[in-house]
Structure 1
Amino acid sequence: MAGPAAGSARPAAVRARPRGGVAAWGATALLPAAAALYWLPLRGTDLAAVGAFGLVQALPVATLVGLALLAVGFALALAAPSGTRATRALRAAWLLLTVFSLHGLPAVLEPEPRFPTAWQHGGFVDFVQRTGETATALDARWSWPLFFQAAAAAMDLFRAGDLTPVLRWAPVVTQALYLVPLAVLYRRFDVPDRAVWLGLWLFTSVNWVGQDYFSPQSANLLLHLAFLALLLRHFAGPTPSGGARPRLLAGPRRSAPRPSDARGADPRRSGPRPRPRPGVRPARATAPWGRLAVLATLLLLFAASTASHQLTPFVTLATCAALVVLRRCSAVRLPLAMAVMVVGWLSYAGAPYWSGHMAEMFGDLGRVGANVTTSLTGRLRGGTPEHEAVQYARGTFTAAVLLLAAVGAVRRRRAGFGDRTLLALLLVPFGALAAQSYGGEMAMRVYLFALPAACLLAACALWPGTAATTAPASDPTSDGPLTAPGGRPERPGPGDGAGPAAVVAVGLCGALVLGAFLVARFGNEAYERVRPGEVAAMEAVYRAAEDVAAAGDGTVRLVWLTPAPATDLTPNMPWGYRAHERIGYVAAPAPEDPTDLAALLDLVRDLGPETYLISNVAQDQHIHLDYGYPPDWGRRLRAALAAEEGVRTVVAGPDAAVFTLAEDEWGPDRTVPPLPELTARVGTTPHTPTGLRVFGLLLGLLAAVEVREALGRHRPRSRAAVWTTRALLAGLLLVFAAVVAERFWLLA
């Protein structure tokens, strides 16, 4: 006969099983139904219906119903009993279906890969494949070339000649890959299992920023998440309730403090003062060589990020440093090594960019208000009311996510958790707003980097976790069944259940989130999608560039139109996919009167032979929605150009047209512009070689200290050895900083 302890716990488990079982069966049965209802009606979708509100206008009603079922089905999967392999598989299936349904929609519907900048990045890869070099004089991104070099090496390895399938499916693959390190990261926090899964689902459902296309930013966010997951898995620092404060260079060990001096003691009480639980699980025990291997992996991840993106390394460095300061990371020397790496790369390899763009790099430093204004209100520039509504929807969507994260943080605090680590991951990216506007995109990038922590905290608004819902404080790393001190299974607490109210809340709010995602993510689809006729028009320009290349080292010019040529630097067309170095793209003022062509043709004439003018539907939509030009402006412009005497039509189609001047319209100078300089020439300073040597010595010294600390902890160090190492490190840092300052001063 079962004892009283076992008998008292069994009825609660039996009562919980039927409801969870019904939810699991319902989620399993609904999975194929939701997928079919979402995807099958999309056959024959008319993309011409895409308008000011984006792709959602072209979707059938049945697909929108299927979209709502994605949220309902995932809510039922969350209600299934946690901890079983079948439940994990069910939740993973719903999560992946959501990823594919949201981020794979354009890949299935649209005939060409979307987003013009993705095509340009494909051209960078093509250039590396053809030449084996970089072109630091042509684009700032060539100063951080590792992403393009790695993509070119992968293309050569797999003998793939066409990059367009990669451009098409990159958002889906990237979003799915994000979930792997994100799941590892979330498991490091002391939160209920349902909050982990809901956080993963929210991450893919509220990530409207659109930086998952084929780009260095998408790859670097993956590196950033992998870095944080490894860091918190193996180097979660000492908690406020115990452990010595980590030091940059440890000295001789001292005796343990007396009980009367122990941190947390309250002289007014007989026992220690209660403190919030840390909210993050301690690092797993790692052998010395394993610790060194993990540190090396972290540095390799950061080195790859440093060599491939301008912004991400600084966010990763700031986050790691904040965790060290908050005593949530035991790898106290890691931020110093990272800072040396990123400053060294910027000073030397990044010189082709900053030597001519100092104002762009440091001009916005400290101007938080101006940077926020540029990133937010600067995007509402008097376009159509519908387009402004999309922009406001994005802002509201972002504010709602952050507000829900704040609610989750408050509920976690009331449940007895101190989430310094999560709050650091959430708040540190906002410091980037004090650095620069990043071309008006800094607010979006801040949201992107804060999103992992925001999504988990938002999930904790529903399931904050309590002392009864997670492992006991005496065993915070336990992943097994919860047990009371007497060995009896512990009943679920108020934050762990998934009753009808929780299911309804997730289902209804999730349906609203998915609908808002379609508007926020694809609200600009009228000009962010690429049409087949636009690809055909660009192919004609590529062929012209190849003909000029066959005749000599010349280039062609392609003129595109925008009302703001000084600030609008990205044309809405599949540009730069080939002949990266042989086509110069010139932004020209778009005339308000599409029949007034005099100034436009004079510009084409002044640029010389082999100059072409392109007008395409995506650019028309951009000018109409963002700047308020009439909706038929582009059609009237193309008609006027086709009828203009002295203008020759190269390509004419419903999506795009390319024009140039007749042979007798060119001036007396018929010289084709020569091939531009590809490599930026940056001089050296008297102490540049010294700086390079000191750079290597710094990294070597930090590595030696780390090896000694990992493998020789049992050997006490003398005070003289400690201070000698500290003095050497300080001296090397001082010399390195002086050389970097010299380079910026003399080469700017």
Structure 2
Amino acid sequence: MTVREARDPAEGAPRDGTAVPPAPGAGRTALIAVAALAALGAGLFWIPLRGVDLEAMDGYGLISVLPAATLAGAALLVAAFMATLALPRPHRPLLAAQLLVLTVSLHGVAQALEPNARFPTVWQTAGFIEYISRTHTVSWDLDARFSTPGFFAFIAFVMNAVGQHDIEPLLRWAPPVTNLLYLVPYALILRTLRATWRAKWFAAWLFVAANWVGQDYLSPQAFAYLLYLFFVAILVNWFRHHHETARRAGRRRAGGTAERRGRVRRVYDLAFGPKDPGELPPPQAPVRERSVLLVLLFVLLLVGTAAHQLTPFLMTAACAGLVLVRRCGLRGMPFIAGIVYAAWVSFMTVGYWSSRKGEIFGGLGKVFTNVRQSTGGRISQTSAQTADVQQLRIMIAAVVVGLAAAGLLRRRARGIDDRVALVLMLVPFSSFGLQNYGGEIALRIYFFMLPAACLLIAYLFFPAPFDAPRVRDPRVRLRLGRLRAGSRRHWPAVAAASVFALALTGGFLAVRYGNERYEQVRKDDVRAFDVMLDAREGPVGVVWLSAENPDLVGGTPVMPWSYRDWERLSYAPVIANRGDPADISPIVQGLKDQGPSGYFVTTRSHEDFQVLTAGLPADYGDRMRRALASSPEIQTVLSTRDAAVYRLRNPPPAPVAEVPRPAGLGMRGSPWTPAGLVYLPVLLGVLLARELRRLRLPPGETRRLRPLTVLAAPLLVSVVAVIVERFVVIS
């Protein structure tokens, strides 16, 4: 290897930073041993699962019934991956295979054990898709998610195209498949960074093992998150603003500041001193290729906006942040993204927001309320075991954020400026006061900051910006200086990273499936809703039991509700009598209020939820069922160990509701709406043409963009005016 190959990639070494050449035949025994260890770990993890008894599960969830051999297998999988990182050079096929096994093992273990796709919210996705497949339209008045139906319509189209009518396998295996898909754009992001191969592969491993939030099921947010990752990957790969290949000067210091010494000087240099960019120079792609990618970015924005209500905001914020820190040259893209997002809300979701301003905007800006609900508010009134799981989740999130901050500081201490990672880490926090998500917003923030957090944690253990070989020339060693990777000194870092990886894997199994006692969906849970829907034509009024007032806590039944025939089902909660489970008078009254269409449904998962999260007695469900079965007023429609359905023997003849017809998107007009429908596509076309024109201009020739800027300015003012006018007039 030449001296030039040993240097920083910016100085001429290979772009991926891997400068250590493979030695013929070296390490083959160690490689075989690591592969055997990984195979042994996979076998130990999966084979003992055949004897798992899910009925013995307690409040700690799935980890309470997993065999010790399975846990040992998970530990061996971690050890094998870390041993691969300890090898002198990267063995990419082995590393990729281990990532595949890890993803399937961690994110597919519950799916392999349970008879149905887990958890109840997944089945609502099936309901949206079934409704669109059957009616070929949407209905804004049934649910807010019908206002962003892009994902549901896409899945419905694909299923009809391939002739697949059973969605349950897709619901069941979506989490592991989705997590594997996430690795594709994440790998594109990692390849742009000035980091060692160990740091990149460890970041990818962390991205799989730290994603415990459960937002990867078949859902709009999981699909939009994949679009978000591709959006960011394209921005940082082909549209970065900077062209630095060496250390840049820091902020100018005044005379007094320049004379500072000691601790103050070190702190100042850490924040404002000269730094090397944490990203590799962007590739020299032809203009035609970048133009196609720019159009693809616009398509990703459109699809993401039509699929999910939160992700387009974070797309816009991430792009704006990268532009502000000079890591993205598409200065007009944040405006394009913001206009697309605002226009969709104004024109396409008007049916929902026009009548629910308080529900939608009631939490806008309530940062401290959302923080409280995301932390302590999620632990109150739970059982001791469930509280332990919730506290462990908060602890893992805090540790991830803390270690990521430490990794950022360690890189800065080495003179490296990781602006891309910093932006992607901070942008998700802007959504804390965005909307009335309550405690769930913290999960979304953790989910979106995870790519950057995993990278920065990897930097904490492997901070070097490139892989430097062993060199004999003392002049080269001196020049490498503090940036030297030190291939002979990686063992302590690998050992420390292994300890963290083992703890994180155990934490994943504890918190990802910590609610499995009530998040699993049994066959009779689905059967209960089939019985109600098949027993009569027309509407079905579902009465369900809640330990607290759902109007105050925002609760929904922990069941596969509305998984089909969405418009036929309405839901009426009744509040449980905590002191007397045999008091079924609220249930009887709730059934009378529903008339002949009323059914009371309860499932074992829902009863466990009330016990573990709301403090009902452990035998509350059994005592309530016995009281219902013995009541002369109640007729048992279905009764199994896992689910039960009841109705009145002599229901009142009224009320008789009607099944609502599809209402579409509920689009409404205003006096200025026709003008807005003309201005909007013209404005987007001008802004997109402006960015395409920018790609063809040489540096310093941006003045040629002025005609398009002058044309876009009045159009932008007009579109904003129409959006404001629609909100004022329609609401």
TM-score, normalised with respect to structure 2: 0.90
After superposing the two structures, state which structure 1 stretch, 628-637 or 500-509, moved more: 500-509
Please give the per-residue CA displacement for 1:51-101, whole angstroms capped at 9, x wherever unaligned.
Answer: 100100110111111111111111011112334xxx001111111111011
2:723 corresponds to 1:737:
no
TM-superposed deviation, 1:677: 5.7
What is the aligned partner in structure 2 of residue 9 from structure 1?
none
| Whole-angstrom CA distance in 2 between matches of 1:522 and 1:568 | 23
Q: Is the 8 A contact 2:278 2:417 kept in 1?
A: yes
Question: Is the partner of 1:651 in helix, strand or coil?
Answer: strand
Report the CA distance between 1:729 and its aligned residue: 1.7
User: Contact 2:587–2:600 (CA<8 Å) still a contact in 1?
Assistant: no
Aligned to 2:94: 90
SS at match of 2:454: helix
Paired with 1:4 and 1:108, the residues of 2 have a C-alpha distance of 52
Residues 353-410 of structure 1 show CA distances to partners (whole Å, capped at 9, x for unaligned) of: 2112222332222221112112222211211111111110000011111111111111
Give distance in 1, aligned partners of 2:424 and 2:399.
18
Change (3 A) 1:647 1:714: closer
Is 1:557 the counterpart of 2:541? The answer is yes
Name the counterpart of 1:692.
677
Q: 1:469 maps to what in 2?
A: 467
Is the contact between residue 146 and residue 665 of structure 2 (CA under 8 Å) also seen in structure 1? no
CA 1:20 to 1:432, structure 2 compared with 1: closer, same or farther past 3 Å? farther
Q: Show the counterpart of 1:323.
A: 322
**Distance (whole Å) between structure 1 residues aligned to residue 546 and residue 112 of structure 2:** 30
Question: Could you tell me how far apart the structure 1 residues matched to 2:53 and 2:108 are?
Answer: 17
* Amino acid in the other structure paired with 1:134: V
Report the secondary structure of 2:432's partner residue.
helix
2:730 corresponds to: 747
* Distance in 2, Cα, partners of 1:392 & 1:349: 40
Correspondence for 1:504: 495
Give matches, 1:584-733, under 5 Å.
584-592=570-578, 593-662=580-649, 665-669=650-654, 671-675=656-660, 678-679=663-664, 681-711=666-696, 713=698, 723-733=706-716
- Partners of 1:20 and 1:322 in 2: how far apart? 44
Name structure 2 gaps, 5 residues minimum: 6-18, 259-271
Find the residue that maps to 2:348 and give its secondary structure.
Answer: coil
Residue 692 of structure 1: CA displacement?
1.3
| SS of corresponding position for 1:282 | coil
Q: Distance in 2 between matches of 1:308 and 1:5?
A: 49
How far apart are the structure 2 equivalents of 1:345 and 1:142? 13
Distance 2:426 2:664 in 1: 39
Distance 1:228 1:681, change over 3 A: closer
Indicate the percent of aligned positions where both proteins have the same amino acid.
38
Cα-to-partner distance string for 1:548-572 (whole Å, 9 max, x where unaligned)? 1xxxxx3111111112321333321
Q: Quick one: distance in 2 between partners of 1:168 and 1:35?
A: 21
Tell me what 1:389 maps to: 388
The separation in 1 between residues aligned to 2:162 and 2:488, in whole angstroms, is: 49
Q: Which amino acid aligns with 2:164?
A: A
Q: Match of 1:285? A: 284
- Give yes or no for contact 1:216–1:308 (8 Å, CA) kept in 2: yes
Q: Mean alpha-carbon deviation: is it higher for 300-309 or for 707-716?
A: 707-716
Q: Deviations 1:226-262 (Å, cap 9, x if unpaired)? A: 1111110001112678999xxxxxxxxxxxxxxxxx9
State which drifts further: 702-711 or 374-383: 702-711
| Counterpart for residue 474 of structure 1 | none
CA 1:713/1:469 → structure 2, altered by over 3 Å: closer, same or farther? closer
SS of aligned partner of 2:567:
coil
* Alignment of structure 1 residues 197-236 onto 2, 5 Å: 197-236=201-240
In 1, Cα distance between equivalents of 2:111 and 2:2: 60
Structure 2 CA distance for partners of 1:77 and 1:623, relative to 1, 3 Å:
same
1:317 & 1:558 partners in 2: Cα distance?
41
Q: Choose from 519, 536, 559 the match for 1:573.
A: 559
Counterpart code for 2:430: G
Please give the residue correspondences for 1:30-109 in structure 2 after superposition, counting only pairs within 5 Å.
30-83=37-90, 87-109=91-113
Contact preservation (8 Å) 1:372, 1:437:
no
Distance 1:19-1:445 versus aligned 2 partners, 3 A rule: farther
C-alpha deviations, 1:316-363, integer Å up to 9, x for none?
100100110111101111111111111111110011221122223322
> 1:136 touches 1:143 (CA, 8 Å); kept in 2?
yes
Find out whether 1:166 has 2:170 as its counterpart.
Answer: yes
- After TM superposition, list the pairs within 5 Å mapping 1:336-375 onto structure 2: 336-375=335-374
Contact map agreement 1:71 1:506 (CA 8 A) in 2: no
Contact 1:682 1:747 in 2 (8 A): no
Secondary structure of 2:637 counterpart: strand
CA RMSD, Structure 1 to Structure 2 (Å): 3.1
Which residue does 2:526 correspond to in 1? 535
Contact 2:294 2:692 in 1 (8 A): no
- AA aligned opposite 1:607: Q
Match of 2:508 in 1: 517
Q: How far, CA to CA, are the matches of 1:747 and 1:622 in structure 2?
A: 41
Q: Match for residue 569 of structure 2?
A: 583
SS of corresponding position for 2:638: strand
Q: Please, which moves more after superposition, 564-573 or 642-651?
A: 564-573
In 1, Cα distance between the equivalents of 2:623 and 2:708?
A: 73
Distance in structure 2 (CA, Å) of the matches to 1:187 and 1:483: 29
TM-score normalized with structure 1 length: 0.88
Cα gap change, 1:189 to 1:516, in 2 (>3 Å): same
**What residue is the counterpart of 1:419 in the other structure?**
418
Q: What code does the residue aligned with 1:79 have? A: A
Structure 1's 484 and 673: CA in aligned 2 closer, same or farther, altered over 3 A? farther
Q: Distance in 1 between matches of 2:663 and 2:728?
A: 25
- The Cα shift of 1:211 comes to 0.3
| 1:543-600: CA deviation from partner (whole Å, max 9, x where unpaired) | 13xx41xxxxx31111111123213333211221211111112222222121111122
The SS at the match of 2:138 is coil
Task: State the secondary structure of the residue aligned to 1:348.
Answer: helix
Provide the C-alpha distance between the structure 2 equivalents of 1:4 and 1:620, rounded to a whole number of angstroms. Answer: 69
Paired position in structure 1 for 2:156: 152
SS in 2 for 1:612: strand
**CA distance in structure 1 between the partners assigned to 2:493 and 2:709 by the alignment:** 55
